[in-house]
Chains A and B, each alone.
Chain A
Amino acid sequence: MVKVKIFGVLRSTTGLSEHNTSAKTVNGIFEEISEIMEKRYYEDIKKQQEDTSEFKKERNAALTPHKELKFKDAIVYVDGERCMRKGKKLPESGEVWLLSPAAGG
């Protein structure tokens, strides 16, 4: 299993800090996280009994924490090394960091 750690705005907005995955690639991780977020969204919505048109709007907001920030734009590190190719095969075990694409201060 690979442990995925999420940092920055991606984490503070989604509330997702860690995720264990058996995904084979970074893209696979993104797909899994999208599914988690979507599932969470529907669970929330079910509780709130909102109407469908609102669902879509809110789901998009949940999946794109900041208007300009998306998981697929995250900066990715695999076992401490920068990974530029999202299709790159992941190791059997290890740690992946997903960082928000921009920071300063």
Chain B
Amino acid sequence: MTKLKAYMGHVLFVDLTKKEVSEFPWTDEDRIRTLGGKIMAADILLNHIRPGMKAFDEDNWIVITTGPLTRCDSPSSTRFNISTVSPLTGILTSSNCGGSFGRRLKKAGWDAMIITGRAETLTWIEIENETVTFHDVPERAGQMTGEAQKGLPSSTGKLVIGPAGENKVLYSCVFSGERTAGRGGVGAVFGDKNIKIITAKGNKEPEIHDPERLKKINEQWRNTLLKHPITGAQLSKLGTAGLVAPMQAHRILATKNFGDGRFESFEKVSGEELAEKHLIRNGGCFSCPMKCERRVRYEGKNIKGPELETLGLLGPNLLNDDIEKIIKWNYELDELGIDTISAAGSVAFAMELQEKGLWDSGLHFGETDNLSEVFHDIAYRRGIGAELAEGTRRMSEKFGGKEFAIHAKGMELAAYEPRGAVGHGLGYATSNRGGCHLNAGYLVVLEGLGLNIDAYTPKGKAGLAVTFQNVMEAASAAGFCVFTSYAILPHFLVGKPTSLMTRFVQTVFKYSTPVIYLVSKNPKMLKVNIPLVQYPRVMNAAAGTKFTVGDFIAFGNFGYNTERLANIILGLPVGEETDTLPKRLTDEEQVPGDKRTKVPLHKMKNVYYAMRGWKDGAPTMKTLKKVGVRIPECIKEVYPYGKG
């Protein structure tokens, strides 16, 4: 039971081996300590994992968490999270999704569910309020993600995997409707445990502390999001695909396996092309005013269109300018249950291996007619697909080419070429789940796309990376879409890039390190709530807490340290190899002769570690204690800085 509102107060524990369920102990103290979502999951996993634990070990847990606001109808707050040990990276992954499952899980009375063990046959876990039923569904083996969701009870939240998950492709996804928990290979862990489907339904609702106040704040925030140039205009009119053109301009559009930041035919794969020739309408997650989804037509069907990452990585990064192919591949990859980012990154790497004579895969830049077949081969691990299904890092260990194997911690990078936005490069390198643009803190929104601060200087970037990583971590944990965090940037700045005020702020950011250092060490000193940062205000109205902006940032800091410690226990190396990027990005100039156009990672990383209170990429004991991380016993076996 919980005295806090907004939460349901219960966590479901499922043992697949024994086909037993129980309630996992989780108190209000735990809720206040971890907030929810990915931070809650990281805390649970930190105290479960052991050194050497692997993704496909039977005792690896899948932790599915909602945020306290997941069913509170705040703008863009329908998100839920799946965390586990990743088969792709070997460390923690947290994969966020906007589908209906989280809302339905809460309606069934559960804030979260933990799954352990392995079923003997392909299984559907059906949750209806307190009742959990295990169904053997061998007849559903091989079903695509769309088909797997058919024939299930109505008004349920659904999670399914496709053939790629069943075949344990290391970057396979979990689907809820057409929404994806895409990154890190959570689908493969489902597949390993023989989970094909999870459904949830119920008849409960979370209590709200102050419904009238919540309604008022929700309305204010909805208006803020709708009036903002990014969340209210670009995302709804062009979706994330609208970034292709600005990325081209700013030289951050990953091209030819991150060999360049510009693509001559970028207009053919742009958001404008998608909107003008293929868009049926826009759509989006429940309660979201941004509606960034693109509905497009494919073979007479109304389907989900490609996002920016998919357009960029299946387009310029493969030297492909045929948007119709991308729409088709996006649909096929979704049906197979494969992460488009990692699949495209792996194919681009294979193309460069071919070009350099390191692996004869038959894949060539600009020759993409056979890619549908290749993606199916990945899903079923056939032919070259068996190698591609292992991801870029493993291929580079087998075939060579580590210097141009575009990944961080084993996860393929998103479509932003960081040599044109060096702070974003720091984010990729330090991100706890690997080469993810959002977990990285998304500094590119400051370095070109939004605020236009100097994209090439390392000055001030460490502080901004720490701050934005913390804010996005906490926003995600509460149940919000991290896109809402763009609205923190006032539109009188991001909407007017050449105004005197914006130029002043751009300059100030370069010299902001001392101030951000102070705040990052003591985030709770910010004992205020301001309209631009609505998260704590919504939380307080919904749950009855008394959080400030500082408390919220502190949650993010706690989450980031918790995840980092878990990663070290799972084998993340500590020292020079901790937070790295491939040499192409750190040692080769993107624009030959222009020394600014490579990521000065070492320089930024040292400041970053100082701000985090880390040494060589590991939180010191002093930091862990100060931040409040629960320190597990097994730390003695692996932790190099015990005395801090």
- Are A67 and B234 interface neighbours, CB within 8 A? no
B78 at the interface (CB under 8 A from A): no
User: A8, B450: Cβ atoms under 8 Å?
Assistant: no
Shortest beta-carbon distance from B116 to chain A in Å: 36
Name A101's closest neighbour in chain B (CB-CB): B497
Nearest CB of chain A from residue B98's CB, rounded to whole Å = 13
Nearest CB of chain A from residue B531's CB, rounded to whole Å: 16
Cα-based distance from A55 to B253 in the complex (angstroms): 41
Q: Are B495 and A8 in contact (CB under 8 A)?
A: no
Q: Which of A5, A65, A84, A101 has the most CB of B within 10 A?
A: A101
**Hey, which chain A residues are within 8 Å of B491, CB to CB?**
68, 102
Contact among A17, A68, A100 with B227 in the assembled complex (CB-CB below 8 Å): A68
A12 touching B450 by the CB < 8 A rule?
Answer: no
For chain A, which range describes its interface: under 10, 10 to 19, 20 to 34, or 35 or more residues? Answer: 20 to 34
Of the candidates A5, A7, A69, which one forms a contact with B246 in the assembled complex, judged by CB atoms under 8 Å apart?
A7
Known contacts A7-B270, A68-B227; is-contact A99 B495 (Cβ 8 Å): no
CB contact list, B237-253 vs A, under 8 A: 237-240, 242-243, 245-246, 249
> Is B249 a contact partner of A9 (Cβ separation < 8 A)?
no
A77 within 8 A of B: yes
In the complex, B272 has a CB within 8 A of chain A:
yes
Compute how far the CA of A8 lies from the CA of B246 in the bound complex, rounded to whole angstroms. 8
**Within 8 Å CB of A100, what residues of B?**
229, 233-234, 242, 246
A104–B442 CB distance below 8 A: yes
Q: A69-B233, A73-B498 are known contacts. Are A105 and B450 too (CB-CB below 8 A)? A: no
Give min CB distance, B389 to chain A, whole Å: 28
Cα–Cα distance between A75 and B499 once the two chains are bound (Å): 12
Q: What is the minimal beta-carbon distance from B282 to any residue of chain A, in angstroms?
A: 11
B48 on the interface (CB 8 Å rule)?
Answer: no
Q: Are A102 and B249 in contact (CB under 8 A)?
A: no
Encode contact with A along B479-497: 1 for CB under 8 Å, 0 otherwise.
0000100100101101111
- Asked, given contacts A102-B234, A104-B230, whether A68 binds B495 with beta carbons under 8 Å apart, the answer is yes
Contact with B along A69-101 (1 / 0, CB 8 A): 100010101001010101000000000010111
Q: Could you tell me the distance in whole angstroms from the C-beta of A76 to the nearest C-beta in chain B?
A: 9
Judge whether A101 and B245 touch: CB under 8 Å: no
* B498 touching A103, Cβ below 8 Å: no
The answer, yes or no, to whether A66 is at the interface (CB within 8 Å) is yes
Given contacts A8-B242, A75-B497, contact A105 B235 (CB under 8 A): yes
Asked if residues A73 and B234 are in contact (CB atoms below 8 Å), the reply is no
Contact of B272 among A7, A73, A75, A82 (CB under 8 A): A7
Closest to B249 in A: A77
Q: Does A24 contact B (CB under 8 A)?
A: no
Taken together as a complex, chains A and B put the C-alpha atoms of A82 and B452 apart, in Å, by 11
Known: A66-B233, A104-B450. 19 other contacts (CB 8 A): A5-B267, A7-B270, A8-B242, A17-B272, A66-B229, A68-B227, A68-B228, A68-B229, A73-B496, A84-B498, A101-B497, A102-B489, A102-B494, A103-B230, A104-B483, A105-B230, A105-B239, A105-B242, A105-B483
Residues of B within 8 A of A (CB): 227-235, 237-240, 242-243, 245-246, 249, 262, 267, 270-272, 275-276, 292, 307-308, 442, 445, 449-450, 452, 483, 486, 489, 491-492, 494-499
